[in-house]
Amino acid sequence: MPESDRVTRMENSEIAAALLEIGELLEIAGESVFRVGAYERAAITIRSLSRDLGDIYDEGSLKALQSIGGIGKSTAEKIEEMLTTGRCGYLEELRQSLPASLVTMIQIPGVGPKKIKLFYDELGIESIDQLEEAAKTGGLRELKGMSAKSEENILKGIAAYHEHHERILLSDAYPLAAKIVGELRRHPALEQADMAGSLRRFRETIGDIDVLASSAAPEEVMDAFESLPQVAEVIARGATKSSVRTRAGLQVDLRVVAPHEYGAALQYFTGSKAHNIHLRELARKHDLKISEYGVFQMPAEKRIAGATEEEVYATLGLPLIPAVLREDTGEIEAAAEGRLPKLLGVDDICGDLHVHTNWSDAMPTIEQVAEAAIELGYAYVAISDHAFKLPVAGGLTPQQLEEQMDAIAAANEKYPEITILAGSEVNIDNDGNVDFDEELLARLDVVAASVHAGFGQDRAQITARTIGAIENPHVEIICHPTGRILGKRDPFAIDLDAVFKAAAEHNTALELNSFPDRLDLKDDYLREAKRAGVKIAINTDAHHAEQLRFVEYGVVTAQRGWLEAEDVINTYPLEKLRGWLGRGSTPSL
């Protein structure tokens, strides 16, 4: 393919964003939930693909796009158009018919498309600012179905929106930044390049994307950066810094430093601020000064280090502190005393204990899950579909679960290289009970339990029902324990101290759900759970075979929680896991 075609091609994230926008505009326009849902599902699928849509299309054109689960013919045609022309006529038509700012209003918690349409039709409200003004001055309460109370709720929703939406998910920032860094590294004038800032520390959400590079020819590197195919516009350009906005709407800042200053600059721009302040105080006690340019012996200001991060830390007698730990939560003290954790890595993960299939509300077959898990080098994978008390997610009845156990046994015959565990994601009801009788639960390999309703319950109730499930001898894992969805839903009012205590006592694991908008338990809570003696399961909750790869986001979050392999049950080889689960060796056969 000619080079010029390649560079103008839209990326997966841009195509997903376009499809999502189509769904949102259709929703505001009052289209059927089926049409709206189809675009949303396609966007979610595309976001989790590990391959470029462009490559898939090159291999097998329209047909190959349609063979990706969750993408129908008309969506595939729109993707084809975007890949070949860089635009989507249908989206442009929709945008013409409605103000684009209406789409952002959909992200305000509690404000759905119907209300947005009502405010627009009746009051001409087109933006969040206009909506806020109207709610503050009592301008909405006269509308049909509205009241002073609903104005209050809208103001709360707007506040929550502002709190969440100035930041982007790690999963949106990381693949883009990795690509940019990868492309920069191919430039002949470049010496080194890395992500920096909160992205390099793998925080769950990111402000702007920071990239650091070293080169003797910064101008050339910045020129190359600004002409990357992902870049839509250059926002600012200085002697050593360039800021751009990508076509997906993200801001990326590139700084180019001299090679001998790279380590000091990388240390400085990785942060966190609190870590850097603490480190610099420590330096002062050693008569040193650490800046973004190097480490200097005071008072003469003689430069003694700065080319590498290792050097910078070594001047203080410290080992290199992993970027994920640099939050000033004790990592500097731990480094000084030689007790930094031996962080687990993706390679330590032996399997996934929370995956859905087309038996409930997900895309893949049991076989597709098995094949994806084999590709990741796993020793085991648990099929844990929803149970019947969650009918909206196609929960399995007792009889269906038994049929599925037979299907899993058959799949185990077919794939001797992996063990497919028969599991279930049961629902924790208001009294702490779960779906299925004890006899059936006992025949499974692993049971995970979740709160899927009653999110707004008070602290006492939501804690009591979760502890009820923890105490159930047939439940081994509590999934997404706080229920939060980043940018959409706050965590439950749950008393985690009580939950940790109960989980440690009953030897029930808590999940670190790796889905990028969950990451639940979050980093701080993981650390507290570990201190309380609780085991963690790093699962993906995949609803698409590609999403098994989300485990990477779980692992970096676990690192931020100071977890080591022994803390995480799915780093255990199969027999050790079986021993921990306490269910004997071959119950599913």
Q: By the criterion CB under 5 A, which residues form the site for Zn ion?
A: 425, 450, 541
**212: which strand partners?**
194, 255
Q: How far is the CB of 214 from Zn ion (least distance, A)?
A: 44
In the complex with Zn ion, which residue's Cβ is closer, 476 or 541?
A: 541
Q: How far is the CB of 72 from Zn ion (least distance, A)?
A: 24
φ, ψ of residue 256 in degrees (nearest 5): -115, 125
CA dist 529 and 517 (Å) reads 21
In the complex with Zn ion, which residue's Cβ is closer, 332 or 382?
A: 382
In the complex with Zn ion, which residue's Cβ is closer, 172 or 541?
A: 541
The neighbour count for residue 448, using CB atoms within 10 Å, is: 26
CA dist 137 and 127 (Å) reads 16
In the complex with Zn ion, which residue's Cβ is closer, 27 or 541?
A: 541
Question: What 3-state DSSP class applies to 56?
Answer: helix
Q: How far is the CB of 203 from Zn ion (least distance, A)?
A: 24
Q: How far is the CB of 388 from Zn ion (least distance, A)?
A: 14
Q: How far is the CB of 266 from Zn ion (least distance, A)?
A: 38
Q: How far is the CB of 395 from Zn ion (least distance, A)?
A: 11
Question: Which has the closest alpha carbon to 509: 534, 528, 530?
Answer: 534
What long-range pairs does 218-224 form, CB within 8 A, spacing at least 24?
218/256, 220/187, 220/189, 221/184, 221/187, 221/189, 221/190, 221/254, 221/256, 222/254, 222/256, 224/183, 224/184, 224/187, 224/189, 224/190
Residue 51 has what DSSP assignment? S
Report the run of H or E that residue 557 belongs to, with start and end. helix 551-560
Judge whether 187 and 217 are in contact, CB under 8 Å: no
In the complex with Zn ion, which residue's Cβ is closer, 253 or 541?
A: 541
In the complex with Zn ion, which residue's Cβ is closer, 184 or 422?
A: 422
In the complex with Zn ion, which residue's Cβ is closer, 324 or 479?
A: 479
Q: At what angle do helices 12-28 and 113-123 cross, to 10 degrees?
A: 60
The neighbour count for residue 124, using CB atoms within 10 Å, is: 10
Return the structure tokens found at 155: 């103001």
In the complex with Zn ion, which residue's Cβ is closer, 541 or 546?
A: 541
φ, ψ of residue 305 in degrees (nearest 5): -165, 170
Give the angle 261-194-563 at the CA atoms, nearest 5°. 110
For the chain, the first-to-last Cα distance in angstroms comes to 51
CA dist 171 and 232 (Å) reads 20
Q: How far is the CB of 360 from Zn ion (least distance, A)?
A: 9
Tally the C-alpha atoms within 13 A of residue 360's C-alpha that lie toward its C-beta.
Answer: 28
Radius of gyration of the chain (CA): 26
Q: How far is the CB of 384 from Zn ion (least distance, A)?
A: 7
Q: How far is the CB of 466 from Zn ion (least distance, A)?
A: 13
CA dist 78 and 413 (Å) reads 40
In the complex with Zn ion, which residue's Cβ is closer, 424 or 450?
A: 450
DSSP 402-466: HHHHHHHHHHHHH-TTSEEEEEEEEE--TTS--SS-HHHHHHSSEEEEE--S-TT--HHHHHHHH
In the complex with Zn ion, which residue's Cβ is closer, 90 or 455?
A: 455
Question: Which has the closest alpha carbon to 298: 278, 280, 314?
Answer: 280
Q: How far is the CB of 390 from Zn ion (least distance, A)?
A: 8
Return the structure tokens found at 581: 């689960």
Q: How far is the CB of 356 from Zn ion (least distance, A)?
A: 6
Q: How far is the CB of 432 from Zn ion (least distance, A)?
A: 16
In the complex with Zn ion, which residue's Cβ is closer, 348 or 541?
A: 541
In the complex with Zn ion, which residue's Cβ is closer, 308 or 430?
A: 430
